[in-house]
Amino acid sequence: MSKENKQPVYTLEEVSALYARPLLDLVYEAASIHRTNHDANEMQICTLLSIKTGGCTEDCGYCSQSVHNDAELEKEILLKTDDVLKQARKAKESGSTRFCMGAAWPKVLDGRAFDRVCDMVKGVSDMGMEACCTLGMLTEEQAIKLKEAGLTAYNHNLDTSEEFYDKVVTTRKFDERLDTLKNIARAGISACCGGILGLGESEEDRISLLHTLSNLDPQPESVPINMLVPVKGTPMENNEMLDIFEWIRAIAVARILMPKSMVRLSAGRLTISKEAQALAFMAGANAIFTGEKLLTTPNPEKDADYALLDSLGIKPRKPFKDKECVSKKAISA
Ligand code: SAM
Ligand code: DTB
Ligand code: SF4
């Protein structure tokens, strides 16, 4: 692989060749790279909270919260700061070190709602937890405000390949996602950026997504790998579950291409066996969301997750372990 200013630049051919390797060779290499860059017996435990649920005007084909879909959902206006901080405290007490607040907004609008989210971020960060938000598209000025409030990371996924993007979302362009990622980087906030598998994409699309993600500069601090949760009332409700070894393959390739990033098992774990999750941990996944709900869909029970980690001898990771995860280049840009 060619190297330039420490930031690796991968060609599509290189990523394709990597993706095509025998699965166990990939897992072996990913595990070795993982062990060089991380403590392989440590897991980052994060908790998600939907702070504003439903009524989103984007038409993401997988999402329960889009007004274009017909999912059964209890909509909620923006929660109150105190209620959010109560949930954050509970999450902290149960062992979570990162609290991620999600809003079903296509983009952030300046005003009272955004100011309230900044207060929430400040409250979570004052508790000594890493604060993360996912609020849709964002300007550089808004990103700076969140940074000043104490935000650790901003989640903004590319979701799928540029080529497949308009089969999944038509109300925005792939490039608009990249613009927000640039604004996040300019504000010196770490990006949490990944995708969803099982949308009906091809292997080439998964390769293309991993290629784009790994060439982001800086590489994302965290890479969520979501497995589609097929939600009734969405165009993807009858999608077949992706072969579990494709999921493992994508995780291993993500770990090899982005050695320093946290690779996060996100949506879809409820239908994935603990043996497959253990193989994913072997292949370099080192972060999970715990708690019985993600944003709107179910997740494994906390106790089941802790029992799984315990039986594997995996310990929770401390907050703010990697202060260097925010690229100096991003700060000075
Ligand atoms: N509205 C913001 C946005 O789209 O950036 C933030 C919230 S959105 C729900 C956060 C992410 O959740 C999406 O980018 C997508 O990757 C993931 N997601 C949403 N619904 C999902 C589903 N049914 N299955 C798997 N992942 C899903
Ligand atoms: C991410 O990539 N996955 C999380 C988090 N970032 C915000 C969200 C998953 C949502 C799954 C569908 C739901 O619960 O509504
Ligand atoms: Fe809205 Fe985000 Fe859901 Fe898309 S994924 S419909 S932007 S909440």
Domains of the chain: 12-317 (3.20.20.70)
Q: Calculate mean pLDDT across residues 282-306.
A: 94
CB 257 within 8 A of CB 216: no
What are the backbone dihedrals phi and psi of residue 123, each rounded to the nearest 5 degrees, phi first?
Answer: -60, -45
Atom of ligand 2 lying closest to residue 102 CA? 7
Going from the Cα of 203 to the center of ligand 2, the distance in angstroms, rounded, reads 22
Residue with CA nearest ligand 2 atom 9? 267
**Those residues with Cβ within 8 angstroms of residue 35's Cβ, 6 or more apart along the chain or in another chain:** none
Q: Determine contact, residues 159/195, Cβ cutoff 8 Å.
A: yes
Give the nearest ligand 3 atom to 69 CA.
6
Q: How confident is the model at residue 152 (pLDDT cuts 50, 70, 90)?
A: very high
Give me the pLDDT at residue 20, please: 98
Local structure of 173: helix, strand or coil: coil
- Whether residue 285 is predicted with pLDDT greater than 90 in this model: the reply is yes
State in Å: Cα 179 to ligand 1 middle.
18
The per-residue pLDDT for 320 is 72
125 in contact with ligand 1, CB cutoff 6 A = no
Structure confidence at residue 175 (pLDDT)? 96
Q: Which of 90, 107, 19, 8 is nearest to 48 (CA)?
A: 90
Q: Which atom of ligand 2 lies at the shortest distance from residue 266's CA?
A: 3
Provide CB contacts within 8 A for 190, sequence distance 6+.
152, 153, 154, 184, 220, 221, 222, 325, 326
pLDDT value for 6: 58
What is the mean pLDDT of the segment spanning 88-111?
94
Contact assessment for residue 307 and residue 278, using Cβ atoms and an 8 Å cutoff: no
**Residue 229 alpha carbon to ligand 2 centre in Å:** 9
Please, what is the average pLDDT of the chain? 93
Residue 69 has pLDDT above 70, yes or no: yes
Name the helix (H) or strand (E) containing 227.
strand 222-227
Q: Helix, strand, or coil here: 172? A: coil
Euclidean distance between the first and the last CA atom of the chain, given in angstroms as a whole number: 26
- Lining ligand 2 with CB less than 6 A are 48, 64, 100, 102, 134, 155, 157, 194, 224, 226, 229, 266-267, 294-297
Of the chain, the percentage scoring pLDDT greater than 70 comes to 94
Residues 215-263 pLDDT 10s: 999 999 999 999 999 999 999 999 999 999 999 999 999 999 999 999 9
Instruction: Give 323's pLDDT tier (boundaries 50, 70, 90).
Output: low
